[in-house]
Chains A and B, each alone.
Chain A
Amino acid sequence: MLKGSVTIKDGCGHVPSLATGDLFFLLAWLLWWQAGHEDHAGPDPPRKVSAALKQGQITPTELCQKCLSLIKKTKFLNAYITVSEEVALKQAEESEKRYKNGQSLGDLDGIPVAVKDNFSTSGIETTCASNMLKGYIPPYNATVVQKLLDQGALLMGKTNLDEFAMGSGSTDGIFGPVKNPWSYSKQYREKRKQNPHNKNEDSDWLITGGSSGGSAAAVSAFTCYAALGSDTGGSTRNPAAHCGLVGFKPSYGLVSRHGLIPLVNSMDVPGILTRCVDDAAVVLGALAGPDPKDSTTVHDPINKPFMLPSLADVSKLCIGIPKEYLIPELSSEVRSLWSKAADLFESEGAKVLEVSLPHTSYSIVCYHVLCTTEVASNMARFDGLQYGHRCDINVSTEAMYAATRREGFNDVVRGRILSGNFFLLKENYENYFVKAQKVRRLIANDFVNAFNSGVDVLLTPTTLSEAVPYLEFIKEDNRTRSAQDDIFTQAVNMAGLPAVSIPVALSNQGLPIGLQFIGRAFCDQQLLTVAKWFEKQVQFPVIQLQELMDDCSAVLENEKSASVSLKQ
């Protein structure tokens, strides 16, 4: 198993030395918003912002209330399952006190965040978008949630997902599908008006991708500044690409999984969704590190905090382009952007190499076996005895189990459990599970070989195309969709590598397209540094949600105010 190989790490190559000027950007942004945001240029220098915060020019409570207001305005997006208004306001109050006393806890103090509803939150319902856990209130916080709270972050709520994170659309949970905020963006609407065939606008909204679609929509619609997703086969990067966000999957073992309700233990990683790379680095800085409650976290010292230098020069970098990722299903727009991105690196002096990851095509089928097997095992605890849903049948314990599980899980979950138990049967075990593990090793070795050939970072598409309308998406079943949509993201989870999706440009339809960078294991900082350089080059446009936000004049008065960006 891969977990066996969680030993750190050959050198991370050319990580430039840390610069110190990029701290506090979130705070800087807060001030910028408050100050009237005259242009897109970004926030004031950090020191001034810190001073302004100390002077109380903006307070965490005001910020929290604005986000709560936006959450209400965008309720129809279905991004949140639970809005923890009271908790957030109380946290804001405490944060405010700290600021007043000059005892800020750091970069995240007073910053509204959202958490995918498969992370355990003490005292707050955690459903996994499943009937099985409806009403389940965990008595403890996931380590990552606790770490955010310890940093002073405000928990706005729990975000929507596919049931138990099984899906790639955020369409298959009991609380209904999540709508992509870009469906309502000025950029997309204007393009649609140009096309006379598009009439039924209201029902033709787009999916967010998934399974962390609620988290992506929450950040994209400005209801929070960062959100936690989970990433097992691409569940953070995929919706990030569809919602024009940075979606970061850390190295397996860098961030604790304790409290994350598992999909596939050996591949799950808490993911981070933000509007820019620096934000992702700050959140990663808060989350990374060994956890005594998760034995798969690594103990070796990790450079913290994750401050990213501004890379002035990419001439020492080697970018790998995996040839197996160029597949017929890839849309021409994504392909063209991918190619342009490679050109960009090359023109700036980086070495760009074609590399081969020969076992890529086996990734999906291999994942299917490993995922369903672990699912069958992990889901066994949901029996209705101790927590969650329990049916009314009490003829026998077995009858109760069966009915509880039939009522509690949707078809997707039940289908995966069934497959998994099939693969776990004695007569099938060697032929499926053991073989899939071997294939997984081959896939992981592909990456090792690529990196050993001198490549620092791999550049690939994140998704086949931009987000599709819901009605289009549901024409295929969950399994087919997941298999298609995870094609560029899944192998990374098999290998435990860090990867990040960066929004690059808008498609002809006015929808975001993302590209993915994949780094060496535990070279997360190097990966994000490269991503930050790239982000700066591409100047991805800010979502324009003025129509959506019409009623939110108190918060976002005009087009400019909607163009909120955390970018410096």
Chain B
Amino acid sequence: MAAPMQRWVGRGRHWTFARVDGGSCHRREAPTGSTSNRIRGRSSVAQQPLYTTQKPRKGEHKWAAVVGLEIHAQISSNSKLFSGSQVRFSAPPNSLVSFFDASLPGTLPVLNRRCVEAAVMTGLALNCHINKKSLFDRKHYFYADLPAGYQITQQRLPIAVNGSLTYGVCAGKKQSQVIPKTVRIKQIQLEQDSGKSLHDDLRSQTLIDLNRAEGQLRVDANISVHHPGEPLGVRTEVKNLNSIRFLAKAIDYEIQRQINELENGGEILNETRSFHYQLGCTMSMRDKEGKQDYRWFMPEPNLPPLVLYDATSLPAGADPQQVINIDQIRETLPELPSVTRERLVQQYGMLLEHSFTLLNEVGLLEFFQNVIKETRAEPKKVTSWVLNTFLGYLKQQNLAVSESPVTPSALAELLDLLDSRTISSAAAKQVFEELWKREGKTPGQIVSEKQLELMEDRGALEQLCHSMMEAHPQVVMDLKKGNPRVINKLIGLVRKATQNRADPAMIKEILEKKLSS
């Protein structure tokens, strides 16, 4: 039960990153299942960087942008929010439609317990106040993929309110510095999804799939600009952004568009806009989807108020199947990413940005922890190998952690060999490359086959160093003239001659000894 929620939280965190840093698109599969059940979260970021036009004129005000996001996330559940029909990814169209989903007259909504629990868990994870009583409302509008003519949602009294999510923004020259930021969560509401419209322009018809839309995260962004210290500007809503990169682009575009519009004496209309993926711009939705329905919400009369309990309010002898206990859900809450990150920093002396990377890649943290468990190597060493070498190989070949040819045990063994000074780190890289080939050999086997063990024979190494110094008198001369850096050149030459099997520290020690004598 915990896993899907974690995924949701992960996604929530994801967009915040992407939005702020301008859109690094993480390779993340679309969640499975359809979005017939969803949680809608609303958040707002009021303190945006200040924007100016490209050529600010003298005495001109700066602009501030305000962005609020409506995030539609599917709940990982077996059946839909208000009906018993299943949720399954890529099921044939209209194959998972109950009488209620088709809005047959006389059918009534029945709330899915799992969805309520997921919403409570999300609320807890996002530091929200959980409303012990929440209500359902009908939002009215006519559209072909909304068969009832209204959508059941939570407008007046949603299940959770007033939360926050702290996240980090990468900054600095190498994007290596993490600046903590907080986004406020206005509310989390349970909401029925509409169907999916498939427009067939060729035959000028629209097909409706009442399985509901496929399971993507969808975001609507509300954007306005104003001069700091003045009232907020008129906002526009950019709808149906389904990738983090496009979300960031749409917001950036819209902010600039509004500024340009206002500076050219125009005005911003309170309108719905869409983002054109190819052109990279937003445009007014003149079709029916963009039209406002001026009817207000009405209480959903077929669903009694949703009442939640905690340990103190739980009625004695209550049937656990009939009640939802907030405290019980809190206990099942997995460790939240921020806590995990903090733990990683504390426990392993890791840099905060490294902890972010470990959590952002699905399965990477688990991989890391498994290596740590099995190796004697220092955590810093493990971190460096997992984040640099291992992740680098994955990215290069566009693989997921689960698809890695190198197991945590193999990496652990490799790091042990390194730790025990059996091999040099250069040799270790070589072993890793061999491991990546999936030939089923252990690091130990590879080391002995390729004879990569460190040279233990000090006498032989001293001999090698001596002949290397004789072969390169100019370098020795430079060294003696007081340029200590050139020693690295000699070290490199000796290492090469040993096929990376010699310990560079030992080489350096021998060389220095010989030079000073």
Interface residues, chain A, with chain B CB atoms under 8 Å away: 1, 3-4, 6, 119-120, 126, 128, 133, 136, 138-140, 142, 257-262, 264-266, 292-296, 299, 373-374, 376-377, 379-383, 385-387, 397-398, 401, 421, 424-426, 429, 433
- Stretch from B141-149, B359-367, B421-429 forming part of the interface with A: B141-149
Which of B106, B150, B301 contacts A120 (CB under 8 A)?
B106
The list of the 3 closest CB pairs from A to B, nearest first, reads A380-B149, A265-B301, A266-B301
B residues 79-121 in Cβ contact with A at 8 Å: 99, 102-111
Contact present for A260 and B148 (CB under 8 Å): no
Contact present for A397 and B104 (CB under 8 Å): no
**Chain B, residue nearest A400 (CB):** B144
Q: Point out the residues of chain A lying under 8 angstroms from B111, CB to CB.
A: 295
Q: Is B305 an interface residue (CB 8 A)?
A: yes
Which of A138, A295, A377, A380 contacts B303 (CB under 8 A)?
A295
Q: Point out the residues of chain B lying under 8 angstroms from A4, CB to CB.
A: 304-305
Q: Is B166 an interface residue (CB 8 A)?
A: no
Q: Point out the residues of chain A lying under 8 angstroms from B302, CB to CB.
A: 265, 294-296
**B: interface residue count bin:** 20 to 34
* Known A4-B304, A380-B150, A385-B144: A295·B299 in contact at CB below 8 Å: no
Interface centre among A6, A138, A295, A397 (most CB of B within 10 A): A295
Query: Is chain A's binding surface mostly helix, strand, loop or mixed?
Result: loop
C-alpha spacing A546/B382, complex, angstroms: 100
C-alpha spacing A381/B150, complex, angstroms: 8
Which of B109, B144, B294, B304 contacts A426 (CB under 8 A)?
B294
Q: Point out the residues of chain A lying under 8 angstroms from B142, CB to CB.
A: 380, 383, 398, 401
Contact present for A386 and B102 (CB under 8 Å): yes
Which of A377, A425, A426 contacts B150 (CB under 8 A)?
A377
In angstroms, how far is the closest chain A Cβ from the Cβ of B285?
16
In angstroms, how far is the closest chain A Cβ from the Cβ of B202?
16
**Chain B, residue nearest A428 (CB):** B296
Q: Point out the residues of chain B lying under 8 angstroms from A266, CB to CB.
A: 301
Q: Is B53 an interface residue (CB 8 A)?
A: no
Q: Is B322 an interface residue (CB 8 A)?
A: yes
* Known A261-B106, A433-B298: A381·B149 in contact at CB below 8 Å: yes
Q: Point out the residues of chain A lying under 8 angstroms from B467, CB to CB.
A: none
Instruction: Show 9 residue pairs from A and B whose CB-CB distance is below 8 angstroms, ordered by the A residue.
Output: A126-B105, A136-B105, A142-B106, A258-B107, A294-B108, A295-B109, A377-B150, A383-B147, A424-B140
**Chain B, residue nearest A385 (CB):** B144
Contact present for B105 and A261 (CB under 8 Å): yes
Q: Point out the residues of chain B lying under 8 angstroms from A424, CB to CB.
A: 140, 295-296, 298
Contact present for A381 and B206 (CB under 8 Å): no
Contact present for B140 and A397 (CB under 8 Å): no
C-alpha spacing A138/B298, complex, angstroms: 27
Q: Point out the residues of chain B lying under 8 angstroms from A373, CB to CB.
A: 298
Interface centre among B110, B288, B299, B305 (most CB of A within 10 A): B299
Q: Point out the residues of chain B lying under 8 angstroms from A429, CB to CB.
A: 296
C-alpha spacing A425/B108, complex, angstroms: 25
In angstroms, how far is the closest chain B Cβ from the Cβ of A437?
8
B residues 106-139 in Cβ contact with A at 8 Å: 106-111, 138
Contact present for A292 and B110 (CB under 8 Å): yes
**Chain A, residue nearest B110 (CB):** A295
Which of B104, B296, B301 contacts A1 (CB under 8 A)?
B301
Contact present for A296 and B106 (CB under 8 Å): no
Interface residues, chain B, with chain A CB atoms under 8 Å away: 99, 102-111, 138, 140, 142, 144, 147-150, 206, 208, 288, 294-296, 298-299, 301-305, 322
Contact present for B322 and A299 (CB under 8 Å): yes
Q: Point out the residues of chain A lying under 8 angstroms from B108, CB to CB.
A: 257-258, 293-296
C-alpha spacing A398/B206, complex, angstroms: 13
Interface centre among A3, A120, A139, A377 (most CB of B within 10 A): A377
Interface centre among B107, B206, B305, B322 (most CB of A within 10 A): B107
In angstroms, how far is the closest chain B Cβ from the Cβ of A2?
9
Q: Point out the residues of chain B lying under 8 angstroms from A133, CB to CB.
A: 105
Contact present for A377 and B138 (CB under 8 Å): yes
In angstroms, how far is the closest chain B Cβ from the Cβ of A374?
6
C-alpha spacing A3/B99, complex, angstroms: 23
Q: Point out the residues of chain B lying under 8 angstroms from A382, CB to CB.
A: 105
* Known A373-B298, A426-B294: A6·B304 in contact at CB below 8 Å: yes
Q: Point out the residues of chain A lying under 8 angstroms from B150, CB to CB.
A: 377, 380
C-alpha spacing A377/B142, complex, angstroms: 11
* Known A397-B206, A398-B288: A139·B298 in contact at CB below 8 Å: no
Contact present for A421 and B295 (CB under 8 Å): yes
C-alpha spacing A374/B301, complex, angstroms: 9
Interface centre among B105, B148, B294 (most CB of A within 10 A): B105
Contact present for B304 and A262 (CB under 8 Å): no
**Chain A, residue nearest B299 (CB):** A1
Contact present for B110 and A385 (CB under 8 Å): no
C-alpha spacing A232/B295, complex, angstroms: 24
Q: Point out the residues of chain A lying under 8 angstroms from B305, CB to CB.
A: 3-4
In angstroms, how far is the closest chain B Cβ from the Cβ of A139?
7
5 extra interchain contacts, Cβ-Cβ under 8 A, other than A380-B150, A385-B208, A433-B296?
A4-B304, A140-B104, A261-B106, A383-B142, A433-B298
In angstroms, how far is the closest chain B Cβ from the Cβ of A32?
37
Which of A380, A387, A398 contacts B148 (CB under 8 A)?
A380
Contact present for A397 and B144 (CB under 8 Å): yes
Q: Point out the residues of chain B lying under 8 angstroms from A261, CB to CB.
A: 105-106
Contact present for B103 and A386 (CB under 8 Å): yes
Contact present for B294 and A293 (CB under 8 Å): no
In angstroms, how far is the closest chain A Cβ from the Cβ of B466?
89
C-alpha spacing A120/B305, complex, angstroms: 27
Which of A128, A142, A381, A401 contacts B147 (CB under 8 A)?
A381
**Chain A, residue nearest B82 (CB):** A295
**Chain B, residue nearest A374 (CB):** B301
C-alpha spacing A264/B302, complex, angstroms: 10
* Known A386-B147, A426-B294: A258·B106 in contact at CB below 8 Å: yes
Contact present for A3 and B149 (CB under 8 Å): no
C-alpha spacing A386/B305, complex, angstroms: 30
Q: Point out the residues of chain B lying under 8 angstroms from A292, CB to CB.
A: 110
Which of A3, A6, A377 contacts B140 (CB under 8 A)?
A377
In angstroms, how far is the closest chain B Cβ from the Cβ of A19?
32
**Chain B, residue nearest A437 (CB):** B299
Contact present for A3 and B304 (CB under 8 Å): yes
Interface centre among B110, B295, B305 (most CB of A within 10 A): B295
C-alpha spacing A381/B208, complex, angstroms: 15
Contact present for B104 and A138 (CB under 8 Å): yes
In angstroms, how far is the closest chain A Cβ from the Cβ of B152?
11
C-alpha spacing A425/B292, complex, angstroms: 12
